[in-house]
């Protein structure tokens, strides 16, 4: 009987150890490539975001307006997470609405291994829902951004 009590105590201790949860910092969870899911209203948008561990955020985006005219955009930004807010500082972009140095603040609503949900700070923006693309290197998105930006600059000179 005393051995049964001892075994029961060891089993309880071991089961407590097995349920220990490993916390992953948001800065580590966000690194990778994310696909922006369509909002369901407004212009149709297809976008992929690459977050590197060195703090670079590269975005390739194609949107279709109501007339079906495609617009290709790119962003080469830096990022950090501060108090649950994803802060992105615009680096290189053809967008006149987001000039170099502009600070974008996205409130992180959800971040896990598969999903990132953010809402831009300020004016009631829609939730932006992203799905993680496992196994895709974020540097690949950054290389596409660099190549496209370089080709635009060469064509404009």
Task: Please report whether residue 119 resides in a domain.
Answer: yes
Q: What angle do CA 44, 50, 55 make, to 5 degrees?
A: 135
Q: Give the model's pLDDT for residue 29.
A: 96
- Give yes or no for residue 30 having a pLDDT over 80: yes
Q: Give the model's pLDDT for residue 126.
A: 83
Task: Please report whether residue 6 resides in a domain.
Answer: no
At residue 47 the predicted structure's pLDDT band, cuts being 50, 70 and 90, is very high
Mean pLDDT of 76-92: 97
**DSSP codes, 83-102:** TTEEEEEEEE-S-SSS-TTP
Boundaries of domain holding 138: 25-155
Q: Give the model's pLDDT for residue 72.
A: 87
CB 119 within 8 Å of CB 109:
yes
* Dihedral angle of Cα 67, 70, 71, 77, to the nearest 10 degrees: 130
What's the number of domains the chain is made of?
1
Task: Please report whether residue 4 resides in a domain.
Answer: no
Q: Give the model's pLDDT for residue 103.
A: 96
Task: Please report whether residue 37 resides in a domain.
Answer: yes
Q: Which of 110, 151, 71 is nearest to 119 (CA)?
A: 110
Task: Please report whether residue 96 resides in a domain.
Answer: yes
* CATH code for the domain of 48: 2.40.128.280
Task: Please report whether residue 19 resides in a domain.
Answer: no
- Of 21-30, 98-107, 127-136, least confident by mean pLDDT is 21-30
Task: Please report whether residue 98 resides in a domain.
Answer: yes
- Give yes or no for residue 6 having a pLDDT over 70: no
Q: Give the model's pLDDT for residue 28.
A: 93
Task: Please report whether residue 134 resides in a domain.
Answer: yes
């Amino acid at each position: 009987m005393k051995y049964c009590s001892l075994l029961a105590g060891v089993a309880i201790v071991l089961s407590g150890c097995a349920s220990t949860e490993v916390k992953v910092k948001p800065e580590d969870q966000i690194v990778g490539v994310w696909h922006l899911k369509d909002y369901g209203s407004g212009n149709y948008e297809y976008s992929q975001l690459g977050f590197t561990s060195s703090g670079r955020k590269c975005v390739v985006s194609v949107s279709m307006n109501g007339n079906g005219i495609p617009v290709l955009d790119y962003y080469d930004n830096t990022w950090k997470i501060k108090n649950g807010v994803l802060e992105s500082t615009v680096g290189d972009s053809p967008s006149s609405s987001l000039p170099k140095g502009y600070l974008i603040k996205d409130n992180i609503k959800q971040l896990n291994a598969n999903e990132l949900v953010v809402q831009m700070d300020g004016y009631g923006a829609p939730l932006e829902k992203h799905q993680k693309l496992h196994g895709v290197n974020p540097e690949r998105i950054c290389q596409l951004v660099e190549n496209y930006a370089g080709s635009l600059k060469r064509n404009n000179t």
